Amino acid sequence: MKEEQLTGVYRNNAGDIISFLTSEGRVISYRKALMEAEEGTLTGVNIAEMDASVSSIDFESTFVDQLPELY
């Protein structure tokens, strides 16, 4: 699979990120984005290790806040 980047973000009414749009036009969930970033198929995303069992997308060191919000 070709490496993709995040190009847009979908948020719920509370402002929480629920999914992303990729450069290949796929809409993927937050969990799927995290999994693909860990696998290296989704580039430009930094992963923050919360503890031994939890990871999250490190939004402070990525450009997610600069992505256009989609509806």
In 3D, which of 47, 33, 46 has the Cα closest to residue 4? 33
Tens-binned pLDDT, residue by residue, of the chain (71 aa): 567 988 888 989 988 889 999 999 999 998 898 888 888 888 887 776 655 555 666 654 556 667 767 76
Rounded to two decimals, the pTM is 0.72
Instruction: Assess if residue 70 is contained within a domain.
Output: no
Domain of 52? Answer: 4-62
Number of domains, the chain: 1
Please tell me whether residue 43 adopts helix, strand or coil conformation: strand
Instruction: Assess if residue 36 is contained within a domain.
Output: yes
Instruction: Assess if residue 11 is contained within a domain.
Output: yes
Give the Cα separation of 50 and 70 in Å (integer): 28
Give the list of residues 6+ apart from residue 40 with CB closer than 8 angstroms, or none. Answer: 3
In 3D, which of 42, 44, 8 has the Cα closest to residue 27? 8
